[in-house]
Structure 1
Amino acid sequence: MVARIPISAALLVRDGLVLLVHRHPSRRWYPDCWDLVGGHVEAGELPDQAVRRECLEELGVHIHDPVPMPMTISDPTLDWHAFLVTHWDGEPVNAAPDEHDDLRWFRPTDLANLKLAHPTSLPSLLTAIQV
C-alpha cells in the first residue's frame, strides 16, 4: 500500500463569504479549478502548523485558532486535514502567483457552480459555513 500524502487546507470565512484560490492552469495536480488554500504537511510538522504556514506563504496572513473540520474528498492518495478559519491578521492576497492565478470571496450559493478541485467536498464546505 502506498503512503497517503498529508495535506492541510484552510477554509477562510468572513461575513458569510468563503475565500477560494484558483489553481493555475499549469499546475500538475488539479489544474484550472477552485480550491482551498493549503498544501503538503512537511516532515516533522503537525497539520495545524502546516495550515498556518501555507496561509502565510500563499495568502500573506497569520491565521488564529484553525478549527479542524470534517471534509469528504474522493482522492484516496491524500490524507486530508481541513480547518475552518475565521480569524486572521492581514488581508489575503495572492502571495503565490505561480500556484494560483486568482483568489476570490464567494457566497455559499456560488460554490455549486464552480469547478472545484474536490467536488465531493461541497457538502462539507456548506456545512462548515453554516456553523
Structure 2
Amino acid sequence: MLDEIALAALVSEGRLLLAHRHPQRRWYPDCWDLVGGHLEPGETPEQAVRRECREEIAVDVSELRRVDVDLADTNLRPHAFLVTRWTGRPVNVAPEEHDALGWFKIDDLASLRLAHPNYAGWLPSLISGARPAR
C-alpha cells in the first residue's frame, strides 16, 4: 500500500517556500522539502494540504491548484498543490519536523539538497508559471 502525501508549493513574487527537514528526521533528513505530510484516515488531499499548512507554517490556504508530480519514489503517492494565496505569515511552528524555512528563486534550487531529485525537474516551471489567483 502506498503512503499518500499532500504537498504545498507556496509561491510568492517568484520565490518558493521550502522547509528544511530536521537532521534527526527518520525519512529525508537534512534536506529541503515542500510543506506537507501524510493524509489522515478519511481526509482528502485538499483537506490534508490545508491542515499541514496550518500545523507546520501557521497559514490558512485561500486557494490551491493541483499539479501533477512524480517523485520517483515507489512507496509514495503524492498529491501536490500550487498555493499562491493564503492568510498569515509563514513561520516554523513545527520545529521537531523542520529547523528552518526559506524562500528560494529558481536559480537557488540547484545549490540545495532537495528531498526528491525529481523536484529539480518541475519546481522551476511551477515557480515561473505561478500567477496569483484573482
- What TM-score do the two structures reach when normalised by structure 1? 0.96
Instruction: Pick the aligned partner of 1:41 from 39, 42, 60.
Output: 39
2:42 matched to 1:8?
A: no
Q: 1:31-110 to 2 correspondence within 5 Å?
A: 31-110=29-108
Identity within the alignment, %: 54
Deviations 1:26-83 (A, max 9, x none): 0000000000000001110000100000000000000111110011211110010110
Q: RMSD over aligned Cα, in angstroms? A: 0.7
Superposition deviation, residue 112 in structure 1 = 1.2
Q: Distance in 2 between matches of 1:95 and 1:13?
A: 19
Deviations 1:79-98 (A, max 9, x none): 10110000000000001000
For these two proteins, the number of residue pairs brought into alignment is: 129
Q: What letter corresponds to residue 27 of structure 1 in structure 2? A: R
Instruction: Pick the aligned partner of 2:18 from 12, 17, 20.
Output: 20
Q: What letter corresponds to residue 16 of structure 2 in structure 1? A: V
Q: Distance in 2 between matches of 1:14 and 1:61?
A: 14
Q: Distance in 1 between matches of 2:17 and 2:110?
A: 14
- What TM-score do the two structures reach when normalised by structure 2? 0.94
- SS, match of residue 73 in structure 1: coil
2:114 matched to 1:116?
A: yes
Q: Distance in 2 between matches of 1:124 and 1:67?
A: 15
Aligned to 1:127: 125
Q: Flag as ranges the 4+ runs of structure 1 deviating above 4 A.
A: none
